[in-house]
Structure 1
Amino acid sequence: MDQVLLSDSSRVLAGILFLSLVTVETGGLYLVRVVTGRAGVTPFQEKFARAGHAHAGVLLVLALVCQLFVDQTGLTGVWEWVARSGVAAAALLMPGGFFFASMGRGRDRPNRLIALVFAGALLLAVSLATLGVGLLLGGGND
């Protein structure tokens, strides 16, 4: 059986992503307070807290998976960076948008920071498309 090795870039970013998942886990403690009614939030804020927490966890795990695939492309330079780091950056932007757009006592609709969600979604799409094209064009390890 062939041994799969990560590039140094993938290994370092994967280590950071695994540590980041611990912050999502601890953020779940706040979510428990929210859903049990002990955080004093509006129904809108509860929905955004759930969305932010879910996006953070799922996107960090997806960013980990991407590390395995980026090393199999021939991407270099900025395109490699976009494919390698874009999902991880989206994992900051999108949840941050949900959390920051709903901050404030009694808020019942998002503020302008909701733009972070859309910026993260755009970066996510560009990153995944770049990785997908990089894999289809090949040039990696055969």
Structure 2
Amino acid sequence: MIDSVHQIIAGVVLLTVIGVAYGGRFVFTTVAGRFPANDLQKSFFRAGHAHAGVLVILGLLTMLLVETSDVPEPFATLSLAVFVAAILMPTGFFVSVIGKDPARPNRAVALLWVGAGVLVLGLLSAGIGLIVAGSTP
């Protein structure tokens, strides 16, 4: 059973899926040609949308595994970084190609790489924490 704080986090994260669904509608209208975008933008919009959906689900799964396995601190708290990555990485994809007909991503693409680092931190923490919890008698 997960505690009330993590139940609230899970509820809020599930509500963000509404935003991901709206993003899917946006990606569809862009790819269908109803919203002007160049090939770079279309590719980055697709990647941003895909990362948002996958990372939200991965974050929920990670949280559930960590919370139901009595993972010790600081691993349990650091594993929540997966949710932070679910914000940073898609933001990096979308914001880095804002503008009219960009030829390459702008500096906001750094959010993508920061998010990747945060994702690694969260997954390492969850993985190590689960191993520690499983090997502790």
TM-score range, shorter chain: over 0.9
Matched, 1:117 2:107: no
Matched, 1:50 2:46: yes
Alignment of 1:26-105 (within 5 A): 26-71=22-67, 72-76=69-73, 78-83=74-79, 85-105=80-100
Cα distance, 1:139 vs. partner? 6.6
- What is the CA RMSD across the aligned residues, in angstroms? 1.8
1:137 alignment partner in structure 2:
132
In the aligned structure 1, how far is the partner of 2:58 from the partner of 2:71?
Answer: 20
2:102 alignment partner in structure 1:
107
In the aligned structure 2, how far is the partner of 1:8 from the partner of 1:67?
Answer: 13
Q: Which moved more, 1:44-53 or 1:23-32?
A: 23-32
Q: Count how many residue pairs are aligned between Structure 1 and Structure 2.
A: 136
2:75 and 2:128 in contact (8 A); partners too: no
Cα distance, 1:37 vs. partner? 0.8
1:43 and 1:108 in contact (8 A); partners too: no
Q: Taking every aligned residue pair, what percent have the same amino acid on both sides? A: 36
Find runs of 4+ consecutive structure 1 residues off by over 3 angstroms.
none
Structure 2 residue matching 1:6: 3-state secondary structure:
coil
Segments of structure 1 that go 5 or more residues without pairing to the other structure are none
Matched, 1:20 2:16: yes
1:136 to 1:79, Cα distance in 2 relative to 1, 3 A = closer
